[in-house]
A and B are shown apart, each in its own frame.
Chain A
């Protein structure tokens, strides 16, 4: 099955700086890569996703890049704010299976220091 690795496990940045979280995946058939944000005690919520036919996607201060050849994808958060502090999970799945089974990375705890 798919194996998703995520780094770093913890990340502290000063407010206003950028944060980058990296993930690698093992199954070359995976073609959908969402990122979820989980605030303390809350449910995971989708913040951005990318499909394998696209190399980069942006949504305001958040961007995701995908390198299919190297089988890795990254989350970039610019101009970080204290409310960005949370645990971020990357995930991968193969949409063609018809079952939306997500394989998650182990998470990155991001702390934005005011």
Chain B
């Protein structure tokens, strides 16, 4: 199992550019989510999905879109990048019942200039 994978590892964008952060898991997990990690603020939930075709907003959804067309993939789209979106982004996945351990991807470090 590759677990949770994320691409790219690093990205630099200019203000106003758009891009998609990729996330995939091969554990057949129903639940997937995106967090951003900023210094002194812990991890904050951006969007999440409890299954293919179902997505919902987390704590800090503004400026981001997601879709879940398959169980394996959960891409995060930045529509028009802003410097405030400079952060480290983690994707995570887990089962929805009984076993709740969330497995995190390796992260994507995004810088918006």
Q: Assuming the A-B contacts A43-B90, A98-B96, A99-B48, are A104 and B43 also in contact, with contact meaning beta carbons closer than 8 angstroms in the complex? A: yes
Summed over the interface, the residue pairs from A and B with CB atoms below 8 Å come to a total of 58
Q: Does B74 contact A (CB under 8 A)?
A: no
Q: Are B101 and A102 in contact (CB under 8 A)?
A: no
Q: Are A99 and B50 in contact (CB under 8 A)?
A: yes
| Residues of A contacting B101 in the complex (Cβ-Cβ under 8 angstroms) | 34, 46, 49
Range for the number of chain B residues in contact with chain A = 20 to 34
Q: Are A43 and B105 in contact (CB under 8 A)?
A: yes
| Residues of A contacting B48 in the complex (Cβ-Cβ under 8 angstroms) | 99, 101
Q: Are B96 and A101 in contact (CB under 8 A)?
A: no
With beta carbons under 8 angstroms apart, the residue of A6, A32, A98, A102 that contacts B50 is A98
Chain A contacts to B: CB under 8 angstroms: 1, 4, 6, 9, 32, 34, 42-46, 49, 89, 93, 95, 98-107
